[in-house]
A and B are shown apart, each in its own frame.
Chain A
């Protein structure tokens, strides 16, 4: 079991690195989906079965598909990859990389104090999670449902004009409220 966990962790880290260094957006998305599935395996092995299912269904299934559809709608071609190649030079990532490595060193030092503590191997069964969601965290559920509603309305309003043809666009940039006229 432990070996499976280590393999899943390694796959997750490796595919995340590969995904964030790709030039082609679709390739990056496919690697990131692999990474999310590996993290779902980690969740399952930690005993969080409900979270593992959510990770597969919502993260890998819904959010990443949304990304894929957007990239398809943007219709990026070889010029976009050429542009990425020009942007993605060592001078660009060396500075942030060094400082984030220092931060990682600090985290390793701090986490080292937790040495010897182990997880329990169970993170609450799905029914326990459901009961907790609808009793203790009921207000949180209501707030997150309102957040999702706001997301739906915002995405609809912002994305509506973008897929129409650009025949009679005014010269100045559109204000966000002008979508209502059409």
Chain B
């Protein structure tokens, strides 16, 4: 649609990615960590889209599709693990999972 500066798009993706990374590092609730992972996946896909738009090729969107697939598979297994963690330990604290192995 509209041409935008390439550095602006990449910077936007980088800021989103770092926000997600900060969320993973800071939060102790496992649901928020998974959410932050989603933000990071999304930012990586955004960088691919911006790069694909630079050359007008569909490859960026194809890579976004693969990232989307991986995020969907990751989140389904991750949320099943969250339910299990809550079931076994009664908390969503990731530090509590350190004792899972006994």
Contact = CB atoms under 8 A, between A and B. Distances in A.
Q: Is the interface on chain A under 10, 10 to 19, 20 to 34, or 35 or more residues?
A: 35 or more
Contacts of A67: 31, 34-35, 75, 79
Nearest to A176: B84
Contacts, number: 256
Interface in A129-170: 129, 131-133, 136-137, 140, 144, 147-148, 150-152, 154-159, 161-163, 166
Q: Is the interface on chain B under 10, 10 to 19, 20 to 34, or 35 or more residues?
A: 35 or more
A9 B18 CA distance: 15
User: Which DSSP category, helix, strand, loop or mixed, fits chain A's interface?
Assistant: helix
A59 B77 contact: no
A120 B3 CA distance: 5
B1 A47 contact: yes
A131 B14 CA distance: 30
Nearest to A46: B53
A129 B19 contact: no
Given A58-B68, A114-B6, A148-B73, A74 B32 contact: no
A148 B76 CA distance: 9
A16 B39 contact: yes
Given A120-B3, A121-B3, A96 B11 contact: no
A176 B21 CA distance: 30
A36 B87 CA distance: 30
A140 B72 CA distance: 16
For the complex of A and B, 5 pairs with smallest distance between CB atoms: A124-B58, A151-B73, A158-B80, A159-B80, A162-B83
Given A80-B92, A96-B26, A147-B70, 9 more contacts: A20-B19, A20-B35, A20-B39, A80-B29, A97-B26, A119-B53, A124-B61, A136-B62, A163-B83
Interface of B: 1-7, 9-12, 14-16, 18-23, 25-29, 31-32, 34-36, 38-39, 42, 45-46, 49-50, 52-62, 64-66, 68-77, 79-84, 86-88, 92, 100, 102
18 contacts: A1-B1, A20-B22, A43-B46, A51-B60, A51-B61, A70-B83, A87-B27, A104-B15, A118-B3, A118-B5, A123-B52, A124-B57, A129-B62, A144-B65, A144-B70, A147-B70, A155-B79, A158-B81
